[in-house]
Amino acid sequence: MTKLSHLDDKDQPLMVDVGDKAVTRRTAKAEAIVNLTKAVMSQFDGKDIQGKKGPVFHTAILAGIQAAKKTSDLIPLCHPLPLTKCHLQIDTVDDERVLVRSEVVTDGKTGVEMEALSAVSGAALTLYDMCKAITKGITIENIRLVEKTGGKSDYAA
């Protein structure tokens, strides 16, 4: 059985020591599906949904970028990372759902998977928050890592 990297020999939590790792380009892509429902999507004008709090998709993208930047504040054992890129995109899937995608990059000693996942989570939660006045039936599904490069191993779903 593989030992969890965030536990010491006494099974106590620890922040992994990355001091001896090489600085490399690290990338990660993540995605989430948000079922906004037909009621919400009926207000989509082809570019965005205009809500009382402002443009919904644009605000969600900004929230996702902020979530990526604040990942180490949200996830206790994550290292704070200087991000060199954080890009979010929201595309319609059909008349009920949107796909939220993130791409995050750093030149560092540890990966940005958690930042990419935080980005889509923050954006998805913002979509919910801004649209919940229309319906509480919005669901967030399939938050997942799609790809990561750099470090010890690469990954593609």
pLDDT tens-digit profile, the chain (157 residues): 667 777 777 777 777 778 788 899 999 999 999 999 999 999 999 888 888 788 999 999 999 999 999 999 999 989 999 999 999 999 999 999 999 999 999 999 999 999 999 999 999 999 999 999 999 999 999 999 999 999 888 999 9
Q: CB-based contacts of 142: which residues, under 8 Å, 6+ apart?
A: 31, 32, 33
Please tell me which residue in 17, 20, 94, 129 is annotated as part of the active site.
129
Active site residue 9: no
pTM of the complete model: 0.92
Element (H, E) at 71: helix 71-74
**What domains, with CATH codes, occur in the chain?**
24-151 (3.30.70.640)
